Amino acid sequence: MAQPTCFHEADPLLALHRRALAEGLGTLLLVLAACGGGLAAAHDFAEPGFVPPLTALSIAGALVALIVAFGPVSGGHFNPLITILQWLAGERPRGCMIAYVCAQIAGALAGGLLAAALWRASPGTAGHGGWGGFASEAVASAGLMLIVFGCARGRRTNAGPFAVGAWLIAAIVATPTASYANPAVVVGTLASAGPVALAAGAAPAFILAELLGALVAFWLVYLVFPQRSVSQ
């Protein structure tokens, strides 16, 4: 049996529909926290400068809690980039990868719709440009994947969720696009409202940048961290 590590489920033989459901629910709650946090910040503070740090705290806090809660069941990805890179690394079967990504996207859409409904908000978009945000999203995504796979390869089972949360706080504040770094979150924001919501025209650029950044990180992971074997 492989030594326990973060971002891999405790029991890979658990029924796939249960693991995928955990990914869908976790992504729903993550997008709810992201979009709802942005709406709350914009509603409660007139100064726009408060929105990024408050949104960062909402997203990071939610993600740490969700990884801790759902990680033993599904690995706690809530991000297609993690799932796809694990598949490319031979750490996850293709069928599982497809099920996870579909559940993540469905959960993200539900989370975005729920946030808008709870706040009774009309659809609105953030000020992030489409292709103008390409470099920002590529860098943010590469950084996130390096943190995730660094913790996984280093078997930092307990530290992983907190390392990811800490990185996101820094990246959301430090990058011009506020570090979406997650194609499912991008899709979810299309259905939502407030400062975090994106226009449909921005989505292709963001998603392409995130995939490119993840692939760069995938290459760097193999240079920096040793290969680990996982029994699936």
73 located within any domain: yes
92 located within any domain: yes
pLDDT digits (tens, 9 = 90+) for 7-44: 999 999 999 999 999 999 999 999 999 999 989 988 87
95 located within any domain: yes
Look up the pTM and report it. Answer: 0.93
Q: Tokens 């920096």 label which residue?
A: 224
Q: Are 16 and 98 in contact (CB under 8 A)?
A: no
- At 100, the pLDDT band (50, 70, 90 cuts) reads very high
CB-based contacts of 100, cutoff 8 Å, min separation 6 = 19, 20, 23, 74, 77, 80, 83, 92
Cα separation, 24 vs 16, whole angstroms? 12
Q: How many domains does the chain have?
A: 1
Domain CATH for 101: 1.20.1080.10
166 located within any domain: yes
231 located within any domain: no
1 located within any domain: no
* C-alpha distances out from residue 194 to 89, 91, 142, 169, 226, Å: 37, 37, 26, 19, 42
Q: Residue 39: give the domain boundaries.
A: 16-224
- At 231, the pLDDT band (50, 70, 90 cuts) reads very low
8 located within any domain: no
196 located within any domain: yes
Burial 202-224 (b: 16+ CB within 10 A, else e): bbebbbebbbbbbbbbbeebeee
